Amino acid sequence: MKYTTVIFDWDGTVVDSTYVIVDSIKKASRELGLEEPSDQKASWVIGLSLPQALMEVVPGLTEQRMNDFIAAYRKYYFTADPDLKLFDGVLPLIKRLREQGLHTAVATGKSRFGLNQALENHGIGDLFDVTKTADQTRSKPHPLMLEEIFDELMVAPAECVMIGDTSHDIQMAQNAGCDSIAVSYGAHTLQEISKADPSYIAHNVTELGHLLAMYSKKRAE
């Protein structure tokens, strides 16, 4: 199948932010006097809605302290956010997809505020037809986020491919009935994302570009 619509996860796929997310979770844990999760556990939350995921990875975190934890996390994350960089080659790739007439979209576990801030920082909001955030729909791996994109762009799942760096992204694509490309340069290890059974795996942005060039086509007007 040739894809007319390319849907990107954000953190760990478009932006090199995994280390900042992990560090912010650990700093927020220390600030609240909680046990720090391991780097592996902290990186597991990437791509998911924060309140849902943090309860599972931060030892001792309760619902009563969730608002304080998220406030501390955001303080540390947004201090570093303006300095985060797009992965090398991602911006030219997205621009090339647009020039070829493809739809591009974002499906992320970030909040709407967080994504809007990131898009503004990088000046690339106009490169996406639709963006969906976990606080305005269902969190991954539930398929609703992708289903809303399909509906807004009036495309069939078979025309779409989800690109992400976590098993949550791959599982969401499977649940929504579309293909997926896992990138191995982000939050989850190659072993973790391989177990999720993506349609394809790209080990770097160059490989991702080659896959999209092979399997994408201009959408019908």
Kindly report, residue by residue over 65-90, the tens digit of the pLDDT. Answer: 999 999 999 999 888 877 889 999 99
- pLDDT-derived band of residue 220, with 50, 70 and 90 as boundaries? low
Amino acid identity of 164?
G
Instruction: Specify burial of residue 83 (Cβ count, 10 A radius: 0-12, 13-18, 19+).
Output: exposed
* Torsion, Cα of 91, 73, 134, 11 (10° steps): 20
Assign 16 a pLDDT band (cuts: 50, 70, 90). Answer: very high
Q: Which residues are CB-neighbours of 99 under 8 A, at least 6 positions away?
A: none
Confidence at residue 221, expressed as pLDDT on a 0 to 100 scale: 52
Please provide the average confidence, as pLDDT, over all residues in the chain: 92
pLDDT digit string, tens, across residues 140-152: 999 999 999 999 9
Residue 102: pLDDT band with limits 50, 70, 90:
very high
Report CA 121 to chain centroid distance, whole Å.
17
What's the pTM?
Answer: 0.89
pLDDT of residue 1: 56
Domains of the chain as residue ranges with CATH? 5-16+84-215 (3.40.50.1000), 18-82 (1.10.150.240)
* Percentage of the chain modeled with pLDDT above 90: 72
Which pLDDT belongs to residue 67?
A: 92
What backbone torsions phi and psi does residue 12 show, to the nearest 5 degrees? Answer: 85, -5
Residue 47 pLDDT > 80: no
Sheet containing strand 5-8, edge to edge, reads: 130-133, 103-108, 5-8, 160-164, 179-183, 200-202
